[in-house]
């Protein structure tokens, strides 16, 4: 083997590592926690807990993947899940109808994301600013709607049973993932999202209605974030105006760790699934290690920066070559 071949081979191995960063991280953490948590990590019960606690993040991050794939960003997700969770809990308590609760929360999600989408496409305000603004608008709204208090969801309700407890919670998460994955892979909606992220100018010059597509992606993300908020409320048993602070960090981390380039156009929801599970596992492992929550937050922040660093490197490689 010549030196150049050796270098090439070394490069291929590191490329593989980088290309599958979330997968690698997943495997490494899995073994790390299995060995170091004195058997508390690797039990069926704990693994189910990890999976269940990742479902709301996964669902939100599926919507986030589409937004990031456009080359945009959503910073409002944390406030939005809180708002949708509170609305769902309140409507459920008022009507005792899971359908009504779902419909109301999804409607609220749609309205807020429609406004954000319009501010972006019609007024041409960058999504970073629009969603940063709505991070605060939605948080203020949920505080007003709830008067700052928690709305409990009865433990024996159908709402809690089907949306907040295993096995239904897991089944719902899986079904939604598969549907979104099929949408991404097989529909025009998924294709256009990817193409616009790949190059907005080329997409426009090829006859794609870029603004309409961006609007649709925002509505799509609105539905998913609403469902994420409902699931989270059901899982923790209440709609709370203070839940989800800093949650956008988790959503963006899951997406980016999953290999979706934050410049848009590259990646997809399969990576996001692994990204969300990896983050869930990381939280769980750190708890089992007895780490306080501020240390968890510290580590999650570092994980995001590292994941972006890796994804930047990779998308540059793909363009330059």
Contacting residues toward another protein, per CB under 8 A: 186-192, 195, 198-199, 201-209, 265-266, 315, 318-321
Give the nearer residue to another protein in terms of CB position, either 243 or 266: 266
Smallest separation, CB 62 to another protein (Å): 19
- Minimum Å gap between C-beta 210 and another protein is 9
Residue 178 or 295 having the CB closest to another protein: 178
Residue whose CB is less far from another protein, 202 or 302: 202
Burial classification of residue 31, based on how many CB atoms lie within 10 Å of its CB (0-12 exposed, 13-18 middle, 19 or more buried): exposed
In angstroms, what CA-CA distances link 289 with 29, 51, 162? 13, 18, 31
Q: How far is the CB of 204 from another protein (least distance, A)?
A: 6
Going by the DSSP 8-state scheme, the letter that residue 151 receives in this structure is E
Separation of alpha carbons 311 and 19, rounded Å? 8
Between CA 172 and CA 217 the distance in angstroms is 21
How far is 271 from 26, CA to CA, in rounded Å? 11
The nearer residue to another protein, 71 or 173, going by C-beta atoms, is 71
The DSSP H or E segment spanning 152 is strand 151-152
263 vs 300 by CB, closer to another protein: 263
Cβ 102 to another protein, closest distance in Å? 24
Shortest distance (Å) from residue 109 CB to another protein: 22
Phi/psi of residue 151, nearest 5 degrees: -105, 115
CB of 179 to another protein, least distance (A): 14
Question: Which C-beta is closer to another protein: that of 210 or that of 297?
Answer: 210
What Rg, from alpha-carbon coordinates, does the chain have? Answer: 20
C-alpha dihedral sign at 120, 124, 128, 133: negative
């Amino acid at each position: 083997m010549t030196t150049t071949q050796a270098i090439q081979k070394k490069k291929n191995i590191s490329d593989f590592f980088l290309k599958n960063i979330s997968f690698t991280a997943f495997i490494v953490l899995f073994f790390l926690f299995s060995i170091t948590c004195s058997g508390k990590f690797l039990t069926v019960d704990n693994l189910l807990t990890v999976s269940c606690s990742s479902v709301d993040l996964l669902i939100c991050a599926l919507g986030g993947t589409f937004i990031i794939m456009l080359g945009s960003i959503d910073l409002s997700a944390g406030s939005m899940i809180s708002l949708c969770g509170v609305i769902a809990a309140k409507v459920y308590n008022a009507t005792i109808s899971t359908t009504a609760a779902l419909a109301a929360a999804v409607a609220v999600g749609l309205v807020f994301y429609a406004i954000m989408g319009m501010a972006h496409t019609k007024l041409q305000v960058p999504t970073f600013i629009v969603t940063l603004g709505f991070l605060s608008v939605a948080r203020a709204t949920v505080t007003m709607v709830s008067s700052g208090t928690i709305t409990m969801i009865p433990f024996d309700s159908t709402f809690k049973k089907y949306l907040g407890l295993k096995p239904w919670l897991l089944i719902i998460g899986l079904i939604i993932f598969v549907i979104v994955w099929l949408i991404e892979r097989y529909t025009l909606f998924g294709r256009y999202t990817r193409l616009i992220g790949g190059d907005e100018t080329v997409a426009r010059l090829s006859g794609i209605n870029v603004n309409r597509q961006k609007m649709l992606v925002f509505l799509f993300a609105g539905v998913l974030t609403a469902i994420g908020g409902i699931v989270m409320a059901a899982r923790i048993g209440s709609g709370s105006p203070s839940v989800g602070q800093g949650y956008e960090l988790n959503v963006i981390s899951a997406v980016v760790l999953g290999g979706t380039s934050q410049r848009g156009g590259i990646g997809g929801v399969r990576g996001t699934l692994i990204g969300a599970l990896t983050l869930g596992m990381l939280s769980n492992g750190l708890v089992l290690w007895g780490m306080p929550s501020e240390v968890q937050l510290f580590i999650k922040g570092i994980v995001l920066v590292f994941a972006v660093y890796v994804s930047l490197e990779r998308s540059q490689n793909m363009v330059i070559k």
